[in-house]
Structure 1
């Protein structure tokens, strides 16, 4: 909104210019003043505030045109003058209408831009716009804070600069596939991915992408939210849960397990004595002894399940091997473990979450997938490790999967917590494959764990 001094200045300028145009009537040939007034109304109304001012100026200009007609009536034929000035007045008011329409559009545009600018500048989410080739066109202040770049450093660069491997290598192929097939993996869906800051560090983020068509151009707008703090808190909660499980497992092993072992030894000795004496209940005592041994073994299996991974680097491999053996005994299926390369996971928290993912996948395969054969594979590469659980069960329709199962949610959650990705693929009557991929830098030892005492 213009202040009072500027309004007075504009109106004064309008009056002076209008008077000058009217005085030029006596200095210029007939008809020239009318043309000048028509040009003036189009130009000056661009600088006047609001609709009322433009209409007032149009009326003033019309008045001067009318006066011009009166002064010129003696020089031209009345009919010709009437037609000429009528056309001029019609053109004049047409120009006023056009300018008013233009001003309304410009005002609406300015308001829209102001609202968009306010959103971009105040939102805590990073907002990034790229073109169809992946070139960054806009980068708001929140995005600068999240990624550590100034907008000038990334505008004009490919958005891959904000992505770590393997997303960086996959991005161009994804865009090409989307333009050719229209298949969406992120656009209009939203998902959790990893971003890369200017200093090279990576972090988890929620990403939602929308597509906008502007004429013959296609733009993509990404809304980014850094969820590092949320993941840290969630990880702490899970760590507390794991510690509680370890404590219970330790109590089972050292408490109940030892008690059952002692009772088993006593019952075994008593059964032997009754058998030597030919007692009629000797067989019953022997049966009780066997049940105690089974209970002892079951308690030890439970304790190993609750304390799955030793703190040594090869603890994950040994835990997965025990998992396969326990699965065969508990679920009556064939379950094998295979290690490809030497997989050393020094981070005990990461190893525990990987074990839990495998444990959940094996349990799902045996209980819900009706599998007869389950394979656990742990492989190591130069840039990542991969845990895979395959089964020959009934499977399910991969396209119809909605991920609503609690087990799938938990596995996804654990994979994200440790910086990995989880993929579940299946087909009806063709089994299921659960794959967790983890970048190498995600399973380095935690600083807090480097000097920690063994927990089990």
Structure 2
């Protein structure tokens, strides 16, 4: 098959030029590859999105448009599908990451379809850049819906608002009753003593109510032990990175993902661990906003025979010594406007998985967070 945009695959709609012109009206990207992962079609939308001209990229391996680790393993994904027929991505849309010509990594919504033209199997990818999409919020809500009960603890703003709202009412009442009691003591008549008794009783009632609010919020965070199952660590990292980049915070950041193996299987609640990764990646991106050099590294290595360690390192300003000592305590934040709940939630989730989480200085000059997860037993992973 000819390696050009006017290849035979365009013939069904009356000629390559006609179909090419039609597809080029699409604002999003369309890329077609063959079974060897070579690009045979690259729309104008793809040119705008990735920064390559079609004539430059025809015949190149599509993996050049992917960040690690997908870049290194993409050909293996196709070979696995052609050998087994197992559809891991084809026909199923997913949020992932892509890499532009200038090296920028950005989140995309990717859908892949398979078709046959002139007897040759081809794959068409439809790609939507989610960086500045108006549908970003809908994408996040859709993903959060899939995250089930963990969405309650991952939405820091909602949780913080709930705490402020629910505690504010009993605390305000306690203050008012206490002030009233103080005024009544200035004139301890029989009538005022009766009112004083009522004010003190109401104060105690509101204090109990405040305690119940705190307990309910603690139960809210800890509710459910989660459903631990086998999950691919590379897939968790890839999905979490894409989600963390949706708001455009990764612009200008050199992102490197280097996992110890491409087939690491962990025994976790995938939804919860994805939230830990999203939180730590977003924290790193925010920490580097004022940095001249912006580098983010996500790596993994064996921690023990039964656990894996994941490290998220940044080139930001590093941690304040006093904050670092109490980093995972509730309401201790690395941000001026932060509520200090995110890292506490990460600690809760990782600990519930039997792992540990800690922070230290990064070789990149900033901070790096480490956390451990249980590896699946070989018999479980093979089964």
Q: Give the TM interval when normalised to the shorter protein.
A: 0.3 to 0.5
Larger fraction in helix:
1
Which one has more relative contact order, counting CA pairs under 8 Å at least 6 apart? 2
**TM-score (normalizing by structure 1):** 0.40
**TM-score (normalizing by structure 2):** 0.47
